[in-house]
C-alpha cells in the first residue's frame, strides 16, 4: 500500500462532500464525518500515514468506493464491497 496514492484518491473522493477549502476546516470536517481525530485526518490528507484495514474499510464504505482501490492495491475503481474481497487484475 502506498500512503501517497491513498492520499490522492482520498482527497479526490472527499472533494464530493463539499467540505471547506480552508485546511483547518476541511480537517475538522473529515474528522467529524469519519469519526477520527483531527491529527489522523490531517495525516491521511497529506499521505503521512495509511489507515489500518479497519479504518480503510470504514472510509471506503462512507465514500462508497472499493477499499482495495482506495489503498492502491488495485487500479480498478469499483463501488464499495467489504475488504475481504480478492484483487482481480
pLDDT at 83 over 50: yes
In the chain, what are the domain boundaries? 3-71
- Per-residue pLDDT tens over the stretch 5-22: 999 999 999 988 888 889
15 burial level (CB within 10 Å; 0-12, 13-18, 19+): exposed
- pTM, two decimal places: 0.84
Give the mean model confidence (pLDDT) for residues 49-61.
Answer: 95
53, 83 in Cβ contact below 8 A? yes
**Phi, psi (deg, nearest 5) at residue 44:** -75, -40
Q: What is the dihedral of CA 58, 64, 70, 74, to 10 degrees?
A: 120
Q: What is the mean pLDDT of residues 80-88?
A: 60
CATH assignment of 3-71? 1.10.260.40
Amino acid at each position: 500500500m502506498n500512503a501517497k496514492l491513498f492520499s490522492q484518491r482520498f482527497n479526490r473522493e472527499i472533494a464530493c462532500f463539499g467540505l471547506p477549502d480552508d485546511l483547518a476546516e476541511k480537517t475538522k470536517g473529515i474528522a467529524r464525518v469519519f469519526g477520527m481525530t483531527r491529527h489522523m485526518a490531517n495525516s491521511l490528507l497529506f499521505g503521512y500515514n495509511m489507515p489500518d484495514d479497519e479504518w480503510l474499510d470504514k472510509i471506503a464504505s462512507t465514500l462508497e468506493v472499493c477499499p482495495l482501490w482506495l489503498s492502491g492495491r488495485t487500479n480498478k475503481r469499483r463501488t464499495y464491497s467489504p475488504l475481504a474481497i480478492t484483487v482481480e487484475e
